Amino acid sequence: MSLVKAGQLDYLNELFSRYSKRIYNYFLKSTLERAESDDLTQELFIRVMKYRNSYKEGHSVQFWIFQIARNMIKDHFRKMKIHKDQFNLVEVIPEREDVGDDELFEREKKLHRAMKELSDEKRELLVLSKFQGMKYEQIAKMRDTTVSNIKVQVHRTIKELKEAYFQLEEV
């Protein structure tokens, strides 16, 4: 990142190679739209180039890039006047081996409805921790809080999601 910051923009390709897939997946899990995720990913790297001087030497490049992505998602949903209420978190719902495609589709729909019950912050927390594999330390820095607080928030959010999901199953 130091080289990009110094104006050697050829190294931006290296950053793109290293982070574009994770950034794209973050956007995809947030928007559920491939084309939109492609556009946001491209826009992110334009912003990386444009705001490269705001990067602080010695800090995590990944953290800085995801902070830009996080702000872009907030802006995106603010502009679209919709909530980021859909992404796949099937892993928190217990699976059965004898489930067919129709049953999986129904579970997915229930999960999306359960996700709507979570606040934007809680959905984002799950995307970062469960899908992007971000360490709690990184999320804590991003949110300006403690690691312990993030652990508790993730645990409570998953519990809340499960409760909402199972309430939908009873209906």
pLDDT in tens, 62-82: 999 999 999 998 888 777 654
Domain range for 7 is 2-80
Q: Are residues 59 and 105 in the same domain?
A: no
* Structure-model confidence comparison of residues 16 and 116, the more confident one: 16
93, 107 Cβ separation under 8 angstroms? yes
- Say if residue 129's pLDDT is above 80: yes
Which of 36, 61, 80 finishes a domain?
80
* Residue-level pLDDT at 109: 77
* Structure-model confidence comparison of residues 88 and 76, the more confident one: 76
* Number of domains present in the structure of the chain: 2
Q: What is the 3-state secondary structure (H, E, C) of 59-110?
A: CCHHHHHHHHHHHHHHHHHHHHCCCCCCCCCHHHCCCCCCCCHHHHHHHHHH
User: Measured between alpha carbons, how far is 112 from 90 in angstroms, rounded to an integer?
Assistant: 10
Q: Are residues 157 and 99 in the same domain?
A: yes
**Mean pLDDT, the chain, as a whole number?**
82
Q: Are residues 164 and 103 in the same domain?
A: yes
- Say if residue 11's pLDDT is above 60: yes
Q: Are residues 75 and 98 in the same domain?
A: no
Q: Are residues 166 and 94 in the same domain?
A: yes
Q: What are the φ/ψ torsions at residue 93 (nearest 5 degrees)?
A: -100, 130
- 79 vs 63, 72, 86, 120, CA distance in Å? 24, 10, 17, 15
85 occurs within a structural domain:
no
pLDDT tens digits, 25-47: 988 887 778 898 999 999 999 99
Q: Are residues 76 and 8 in the same domain?
A: yes
- pLDDT over 90, % of the chain: 35
DSSP-derived letter for residue 55 is P
Domain containing residue 111: CATH number: 1.10.10.10
